[in-house]
Amino acid sequence: MNEQLQAAYAGQAGSGALIEQRNRVLRNTYWLLALSLVPTVLGAWVGVTTGVVARMGMGMSTIVFLGGAFGLMFAIEKFKNSSTGVLLLLGFTFFMGLMLSRLLGAILGLANGSTLIMTAFGGTAAVFLTMASLASMIKRDLSNMGKFLFVGAILLLVAGVINIFVQSSALMITVAVIAIGLFSAFMLYDLKRVIDGGETNYITATLAIYLDVYNVFQSLLALLGIFGGERD
């Protein structure tokens, strides 16, 4: 009887430790995600002020974006278990803010540009809060979503690159709409992985969720600029 009680107690203690670890990863992820917005805003401000990205051609800026983004993501994953990973992540978010400056500059050129940016920010925050709530309420395992979302992201990337050359407004709108849905689903999937213990590294978790938030914001802002922009 004593051995059964000891086994039950050990099981409860182990379960409690596991829950605490998951909560710690989730808490650290949220803090680092909030911190990552600071260099993003700074990078966007530098880009809009200097016009460094706007002066690049679309082809060159795409090469810089893909090379810089994938290079930094590889480095973050390599150093994800050290403080260097945090610094690389913050550098990555600065770079992503810098690359967002072309779109932000175009939106700010509209009469209601500031309003559109705040609306996109509010819409993105609403999506994040909704996905975070769903991730905490849904009990079923969502790990099988990963492969389908990954394929969708690759197809979306290919469509985006193609549109750089064809410059189709219809394709751009379609890509933006699909991106909002796809990366909202990615947000749910990535948050659920942290909550369920599928992702135990908060730097990797932050990187994934940051990319989801970034893509939802960028796509939503592009759609607002197309359909709600007011010329002077």
Q: DSSP per residue over 87-141, as a string?
A: HHHHHHHHHHHHHHHHHHHHHHTSTTHHHHHHHHHHHHHHHHHHHHHHHHH--S-
Position 157 scores a pLDDT of 86
Q: What is the mean pLDDT of residues 152-174?
A: 86
Task: Go through 70-92 and write b for each residue having 16 or more CB atoms within 10 A of its CB, e for each that does not.
Answer: eebbebbeeebeeeebbebbbbb
Position 198 scores a pLDDT of 84
**Those residues with Cβ within 8 angstroms of residue 191's Cβ, 6 or more apart along the chain or in another chain:** 131, 132, 135, 209
Cα–Cα distance, 160 to 151 (Å, whole number)? 14
Cα–Cα distance, 71 to 216 (Å, whole number)? 22
- Determine whether 34 is exposed, middle or buried from the number of CB atoms within 10 Å of its CB (0-12, 13-18, 19+): exposed
Q: pLDDT at residue 232 above 70?
A: no
- Binned at pLDDT 50, 70 and 90, residue 111 comes out as confident
Identify whether the C-beta of residue 79 lies closer than 8 Å to the C-beta of residue 85.
yes
Average model confidence (pLDDT) for the chain?
A: 88
Position 3 scores a pLDDT of 54
Cα–Cα distance, 229 to 115 (Å, whole number)? 10
Helix (H) or strand (E) holding 26: helix 2-50
Q: pLDDT at residue 96 above 90?
A: yes
Q: pLDDT at residue 63 above 60?
A: yes
Q: What is the pLDDT of residues 167-220, one digit of tens each?
A: 788 888 999 999 999 999 999 999 999 988 888 899 999 999 999 999 999 999
Position 4 scores a pLDDT of 54
Q: pLDDT at residue 5 above 50?
A: no
Lowest mean pLDDT among 9-13, 163-167, 220-224: 9-13
Q: pLDDT at residue 101 above 50?
A: yes
Q: Is 142 helix (H, G, I), strand (E, B) or coil?
A: coil
Position 141 scores a pLDDT of 81
Q: pLDDT at residue 152 above 60?
A: yes
Select the more confidently predicted residue: 228 or 136.
136
Q: What is the mean pLDDT of residues 131-139?
A: 90
- Binned at pLDDT 50, 70 and 90, residue 51 comes out as confident
Task: Go through 148-161 and write b for each residue having 16 or more CB atoms within 10 A of its CB, e for each that does not.
Answer: ebeebbeebeebee
The separation between CA 208 and the C-alpha centre of its own chain, rounded to angstroms, equals 6
